[in-house]
Amino acid sequence: MRLLKFSLIISFFGVLFLIILSLNVEPKEVFSYAELEEGVYVIVSGKVVSIREYGEFKTVKFDNNISFNCNGCGIRENLRLRVEGKVSEYRGKMQVNAERIFVESKQ
């Protein structure tokens, strides 16, 4: 019985520690494609130069050659955007899976 209580307490504090640790993760600002690292939470900015649509899913490319994916986002070319998300690799290329998108200007 004591071992069960001890393991529950340790589990609780472990989960609490992970929650607190995840709240303190700051995204890394990235300015070029070469800086992208798989698994890192990043912020990228740029002007939209191309959009590929696959139903509701879109792959968007910035003028700095960084691509990001979004689902159901209302984006058009020539918008200047700021995107937060996690970097992943797809078919040998790095891309950002957008979690938040902000419009910087509507040029």
Residue 107 reports pLDDT greater than 70: no
In the three-class reduction of DSSP (H, G, I as helix; E, B as strand; rest coil), residue 14 is classed as: helix
pLDDT digits (tens, 9 = 90+) for 21-33: 777 678 888 888 8
Averaged pLDDT, 84-99: 92
Give how far Cα 80 sits from Cα of 53, 67, 77, 98, 105, Å.
19, 14, 9, 15, 5
CB atoms closer than 10 angstroms to residue 41: 14
pLDDT bucket at 4, cuts 50 / 70 / 90 = confident
Q: What is the pLDDT of residues 29-55, one digit of tens each?
A: 888 888 888 988 999 999 999 999 988
Question: Is the confidence at residue 97, as pLDDT, over 90?
Answer: yes
